[in-house]
Amino acid sequence: MTEREERRAERAAAAGFGVTVLACGGLAYVYLQGGQAQLEGLLLAVAFAGVAYGFVTWGQKLMPQGPVSEDRHHLPSTEPERERFEADLERGGVLTRRRLLVRALGAAVVALGGVALFPIRSLGPRPGTSLAHTPWRRGMRLVTEDGRPVRAADVPRGGLVTVFPEGHAGSADGQAVLVRVEDPGRIRHRPGRDDWSPHGYIAYSKVCTHAGCPVGLYQAETHQLLCPCHQSTFDVLDGARPVFGPAAAALPQLPLRLDPDGYLRARGDFPEPVGPAYWHRA
């Protein structure tokens, strides 16, 4: 291979690595602009193709191709070879020729390594304590799904109403079931919760502690809430303790109070995280 051909091959390999760098730059731009899966995939393919082309060209055109054999008595270089070597040495070519390739390869590797970090960034922010809280706040009125405040007198005896925090109708983690127990004296309060169920109005999270289904069925005769997914059953009179089925934890109770206008309000958030118990297992 002549020197000219060698230089051309070297530039071609470096161009391949350069394409990788450009593709990675484009990928970073698209990603930071909000991302577009197809375009990102295309740019990643171009990046890998560029680095593959560079390596193949380098290996095929610039590395010694074997097998090579030479008789011992021909060991001395020819005159033109010596002249070429000297000329190369004087301008530093022999010793630095591969610098371009090595730098281009280094840039390509760094660019590919950089874009490989994007999936980590895409994991999003840490959830922090967000799983431990719902929109319920002290003083919030209970509202129905259409945002109407719930008046205690409107809750049917022995019936069940799905309620949400005021201003958060439809909230997935804030949804709760409100039950009006006919005989409040039968409620067995947990310590410190004597005033959480005024006049027998008692509310629990609607999110099942087994796998998160909505607990939407109520049997007034037995005072039991039923989850339709796997039939977990919770005792309303006993802090929504599970009495049947796979759920292992009680439904968190929403502390309530009755305001002077007859509306039900929360005394605060649920005391425990809502939903499947494995979220808050120590």
Which residues of this chain interact with ligand FES, rule CB under 6 A?
A: 208, 210-211, 213, 227, 229-230, 232, 245-247
Residue nearer to ligand FES on the CB measure, 94 or 229: 229
Q: Strand, helix or coil at 22?
A: helix
Residue 113's contacts (CB-CB under 8 Å, 6 or more residues apart) are: none
Q: Give least dist CB 133 to ligand FES, A.
A: 21
Inter-residue contact 265 to 142 (CB < 8 Å): yes
User: Where do we find the tokens 């919770």?
Assistant: 234
Residue nearer to ligand FES on the CB measure, 102 or 248: 248
User: Where do we find the tokens 């002290």?
Assistant: 138
Residue 29's contacts (CB-CB under 8 Å, 6 or more residues apart) are: none
Q: Give least dist CB 241 to ligand FES, A.
A: 14
Residue nearer to ligand FES on the CB measure, 18 or 216: 216
Inter-residue contact 164 to 206 (CB < 8 Å): no
Looking from the CA of 13 toward its CB, the CA atoms found within 13 Å total: 25
Q: Give least dist CB 216 to ligand FES, A.
A: 10
Residue nearer to ligand FES on the CB measure, 54 or 242: 242
Tokens at 65, concatenated: 């191709």
Residue 277's contacts (CB-CB under 8 Å, 6 or more residues apart) are: 209, 210, 247, 248, 249
Q: Give least dist CB 183 to ligand FES, A.
A: 27
Residue nearer to ligand FES on the CB measure, 23 or 226: 226
Q: Give least dist CB 206 to ligand FES, A.
A: 11
Q: Give least dist CB 217 to ligand FES, A.
A: 11
One-letter amino acid identity for 222? T
Rounded Cα–Cα distance for residues 263 and 261 (Å): 6
Residue nearer to ligand FES on the CB measure, 15 or 229: 229
Residue nearer to ligand FES on the CB measure, 105 or 225: 225
> Which of 37, 3, 44 lies closest to 23 in space, CA to CA?
44
Q: Give least dist CB 136 to ligand FES, A.
A: 21
